[in-house]
Chain A
Amino acid sequence: MMTTPATMLADKKPVLAVEDLEIRIRGEHGSFSVVADMSLAVAAGETLCIVGESGCGKSMTALALLRLLPEAAEIAGGRVEINGRDVLKLGAHEVEDLRGEEIAMIFQEPLTALNPVMTIGLQIAEAVRQHRKVSASAAMAQAVETLKLVQMPDPERRARQYPHELSGGMRQRAMIALALACDPKIIVADEPTTALDVTIQAQILGLIADLQKRLGSAQILITHDLGVVAEVADRVIVMYAGRKVEEASVYDLFDHPIHPYTKGLMGAIPRGRASERLADIPGTVPPMWDLPKGCAFAPRCPGASARCLEERPLFEEKRPGHFAACWEHDDV
C-alpha cells in the first residue's frame, strides 16, 4: 500500500517520517486502537495540518511523535523517524535530548503547560540549560532574546513575570518561545489558537507564519478548524476515527475534496450570507472500541454502498498527490 505522497518526497527530504503508526488504549472497554495505519512526512519549511473532530486521533498522533503519550496509551507498532533515527527505539535520556533540540511541542492550553510557580524567563532559561552548557545569566539572556523573537511586548519585564500575570495571547507567545528556545527543527502545535479570542488568534497565526519563514522549521499543526487550515497549511491530512481519510495539498483539498467526510466538514461550516440549512453530517462518530467493520464513516455517509459496510477502503492516490480512502469515489 502506497502511503507517503510521492510528490512531496520528490523535491524535499522529510525531516520527520512516520510509518504505519498504531496507538492503542487500555481502558474499561479492553484494549483498542485509537490511531492506526498513520503515515506522514514533513519537510523543512513545510506546514502539515492534521484536521479532524474530537476523538479522531489527531492529538494522540502528535503526542506520540514526542513520546508523550498518556499512561493508558501505548505505541503498538510503526516507526517515527527523525533525522534517520527511530524515535520509538530511543531510551529515556535520548528522548529527553530529542525533545526541545530536534522536536518541540506547543500545547493548546499554555496555562496548564507552563509551570505556574516559575517565571517565564526562568522556564525558558532552564530549557536552554538542559541542552546547552551555558551560564545561568547567558541562558536568561537567551530567554529574553527568544521572547523578542516571538514579539512579546516588553520582553525583559515579561521574563520576570509568572504565567498567571500574562494575558492568554501573551501566555501562548511565552509557550512558543519555550518551544523555540533550543532551535528545534520540527515544531508540533496542538490546537495552538483554539483557546484564544479571534483577534488574538490572528496575531498568533501571523506569528507562527512569520517564525516559520524566518526559521525554516518543519511544522505539524493539529486543529479542528478548517479556517485555520486554509490560512496556514501547505499540506493537509484529514483524520476520522483514528485513520487518515484524505491527504492533499491545501489547494487540492479545498478545490476538490474527495472524501465524503471532508466534503461534509466543509459543508457544515457556516459561511457567506446564506441563512439556508447547513449540510450537517447525520449521526455521530462511532466509539473507537466499537468501530464498524468496513469504512468507519459508512454509517454516516450519504454515498455508502454495500462494499463500504463490509470492507475497509484502501488509502490510495486518487489524483496526482491527492490521496483518499473511499471505495465510491469516482473521479471524472
Chain B
Amino acid sequence: MSDALLEVEGLTVHFPIRKGVLQRQVGTVRAVDGIDFSLKRRETLSLVGESGCGKSTTGLALMGLVKATAGTVTFAGERIAGLRGSALRAFRRRVQIVFQDPFSSLNPRQRVRDIIRAPLDIHRVGTARERQKRVAELMERVGLRPDQADNFPHQFSGGQRQRIGIARALALKPEIIICDEPVSALDVSVQAQILNLLADLQRDLGVSYLFISHDLGVVEHISRRVAVMYLGKIVEIADRDALFARPTHPYTELLMKSAPSLDPRRRHVFSASSDVVPSATQKPSGCPFHPRCHLATEECKAADPALTPRDDGRLVACHHR
C-alpha cells in the first residue's frame, strides 16, 4: 500500500528503573515513547535530537539490540513480528548498523579481514575463497587498501576504522544501514571523507540510511527527510528543505537558533540564562517540551499534542503551530 521499505508504528522502548536488594521497579525510563516513521528505498531519513531524546535507542530497537516494549515494524511489506527468531535473522541480514565509536565497536584482537568477514561467516554466504574475495572488494569499496587486511584495528586512524565498520555493514548487501552518529567522533576533515563515502555508496548501491545524529549541519547535508526527536517523541518530521527553511515546532526552532553560524558577521545573541532540562526518567506532563517552550499554555501542560499534518505535508506535534 505504501512504497516504504521500512515502516515503524508505535515503537516504544521503556526501561525499568530498579532499586534495592529486591530490585523493585521504582520508575520507568521512557526512552522511546511511541514513534511512527517510514523509510523509502534510496532515501536518507535522519533522526536528530539532543542526548536522551531516544534517537539511538530507536536504532538499537530496530536492530533488536534492545527489546522494544511495543510497536510494529514492517520491512518490505512483511511484518517483523516482535523482532525475534528466524524472521529477525533474515531482517538483520538486510538491515545493518554502523556505530559512533570506531574504537570500541571493533574487536581489537581481530584482524580487519576477520572483522569484515564475520557477517559472511555468520550467515554462511559463499565459500571460503568467495568470502576472501568479497573482503578485498569491500575494503577497496570503502577506500581501504586490501593489503592491510591482516592488520589490527589499532593500526588504523579513526576515519579508517569507521571505514572498516562501514565495510562490515556492507558485507551482506543490506538494503538499510542504520548510521548511529557515524561521524561524531571524527575530526571535521575526516568527517567530510566519511560523509562523501556514505553518499557514494548510496548512489552506487541504492542503500537507504536511517541517519542518527545530533549535528544539524551534518543532518542538513545528508538527509532527504528529517525527524526531530525530543524526550522519546518525534515532534516534527518534514522534507529537509522545508524543515530548515521553516522550522515549525518550537523545539526545532530552538535547535536551529542554537547552532553556531559560521559567519562572524552574523553572530547570534545567545541568552546566557539557563533552563531546567527534563529527562526521560521524569517526563513532564502533556507536551514534553512545555517547560522550555515560550508558547506553552495550560493546554500544553494537560495534553500531549499528536503529530498531525500541516499544509506543506510536514507533521508537527504542537498545539500552537
A200 within 8 A of B: yes
* Shortest Cβ gap from B143 to chain A (Å): 10
Q: Could you jot down 22 A-B contacts, CB within 8 Å?
A: A53-B187, A54-B187, A168-B51, A169-B274, A170-B274, A197-B214, A198-B216, A200-B277, A201-B260, A203-B270, A230-B267, A231-B264, A233-B264, A250-B264, A254-B263, A270-B222, A271-B217, A272-B220, A273-B244, A279-B192, A280-B192, A281-B193
Does A90 touch B at the CB level, under 8 Å?
no
Contact size range, A = 35 or more
Q: Evaluate contact between B259 and A281: CB separation under 8 angstroms.
A: no
Please name all residues of chain A whose beta carbon is closer than 8 Å to the beta carbon of B258 when the two chains form the complex: 198-199, 201-202
A275 within 8 A of B: yes
A residues within 8 A CB of B199?
Answer: 275, 277
Task: Tell me which of A168, A270, A274 has the highest count of chain B C-beta atoms within 10 A of its own C-beta.
Answer: A270
Q: Smallest distance from the beta carbon of A123 to chain B beta carbons, Å?
A: 19
Enumerate chain B residues within 8 angstroms of A254, measured Cβ to Cβ: 262-264
Q: B31 CB to closest chain A CB, in angstroms?
A: 16
User: Taking the complex as formed, is A207 at the interface, i.e. its CB lies under 8 A from any CB of chain B?
Assistant: yes
Residues of chain B with a CB closer than 8 A to A225's CB: 260
Count A-B contacts at CB 8 Å: 140
Tell me if A277 and B187 are in contact (CB < 8 A): no
Interface pair A280/B196, CB less than 8 Å apart: yes
Q: Check B274 against A173 for contact (C-beta < 8 Å).
A: yes
Nearest CB of chain B from residue A28's CB, rounded to whole Å: 13
Chain A 200-235 interface residues, beta-carbon cutoff 8 Å to B: 200-203, 205-207, 209-211, 224-228, 230-231, 233
**Residue A63 is within 8 A (CB to CB) of chain B in the complex:** no
Residue on B with the closest CB to A193? Answer: B260
Q: Which chain B residue has the least Cβ–Cβ distance from A261?
A: B189
Q: Which of A152, A199, A226 contacts B50 (CB 8 A)?
A: A199
Q: A201-B258, A211-B272 are in contact. List 17 more A-B contacts (CB 8 A).
A: A54-B187, A167-B276, A170-B274, A197-B51, A202-B258, A202-B268, A203-B271, A206-B271, A206-B272, A210-B272, A224-B187, A230-B261, A231-B260, A265-B188, A268-B191, A269-B192, A280-B192
Nearest-CB distance from A180 to chain B (Å)? 13
Closest Cβ–Cβ distance, residue B280 to chain A (whole Å): 13
Q: Which residues from A are CB-within-8-Å of B196?
A: 277-278, 280
**B157 neighbours in A (Cβ, 8 Å):** 284
- A251 at the binding interface (Cβ < 8 Å): yes
The answer to whether A231 touches B267, judged by C-beta atoms less than 8 angstroms apart, is yes
**A153 in the interface, Cβ–Cβ < 8 Å?**
yes
Indicate if A264 sits at the interface (CB-CB under 8 A): yes
In the assembled complex, the Cα of A268 lies from the Cα of B192 at a distance in Å of: 5
**Is B321's CB within 8 Å of the partner chain A?**
no
Whether B70 is near chain A, meaning CB under 8 Å from some CB there, is no
Say whether A151 faces chain B, with CB atoms less than 8 Å apart: yes
Which 3 A-B residue pairs are closest in the complex by CB-CB distance? A227-B260, A206-B270, A270-B221
Residue of A nearest to B197 (CB): A280
Complex Cα–Cα for A199 and B271 (A): 10
Q: Is A230 within 8 A of B192, CB to CB? A: no
